[in-house]
Amino acid sequence: MAALLTDPLFETSGRALTHNNYFYHLVITKSYVIWRWWKISSRLVDRNAKPGELKESHLDFLDDQWVQSEVSTVFGDRILQYAKALCQGHYDYLERMPDTLLLRIINSLELEDVGQLGRTSRKFRKLCGSEEFWEQAVQRRCNTVSAEMASVALDEGWRSIFFTSKLQLQKLISRRRLKAEEHEGGPGSDPDSKTGIS
């Protein structure tokens, strides 16, 4: 499982929630916590202000109340708790798996469970609502996916196709065929020469 971990484990940056002239950057690697800060100012007196950096081991970070306080002040308590959990070895392996593998796992779930999973994190909400997931769901539950059906899905969305009845889908495909035939035939075409739609 450790092979799934990529460096950095976590990285974020931004300005403090309070109004100060500093920009902050937090990086957590497999071995270190790196805390950086820059002063952002157009004043001449601040022109020579150098950026700062503190690099310490996970254990040192867990003991360093000052850095923890800074992280909490800048990014909030949720990010601090997440950073501490990573430093304690509580990795979110599932979140770090490749999307292609996660989509295969999600597609083996019941639809109700997919809805519940989508509420657990931003990543799973994005995956459970993605076109890739719904395309795989349609292909898994249908015997065949015709080129016309795929074309309709590109316009309507795979999720929409999943919840569309076969009869409604046949109507959509028939309408598309009619439009295509009208477009190909042009204004001067002979209406008697068009083939019927089954």
pLDDT in tens, 48-62: 778 899 999 999 999
Reported as a single tens digit per residue, the pLDDT across 66-113 is: 999 999 999 999 999 999 999 999 887 777 778 888 998 999 899 899
Give 53's strand partners: 36
Q: How confident is the model at residue 17 (pLDDT cuts 50, 70, 90)?
A: low
Q: Which residue has the higher pLDDT, 192 or 178?
A: 178
Residue 194 has pLDDT above 50, yes or no: no
Nearest partner of 52 among 32, 29, 74, 23, judged by Cα: 23
pLDDT at position 2 is: 54
If one compares 60 and 190, the residue with the highest pLDDT of the two is: 60
Higher pLDDT, 115 or 188: 115
φ/ψ bin of 61: left (φ > 0), alpha (ψ from -120 to 50), beta (otherwise)? alpha
pLDDT digits (tens, 9 = 90+) for 134-187: 988 888 877 777 888 888 888 888 888 888 887 888 888 888 888 878 877 655
Rounded CA separation 93/82 (Å): 14
Between 145 and 11, the more confident residue is: 11
Which whole number is the average pLDDT over 34-55? 83
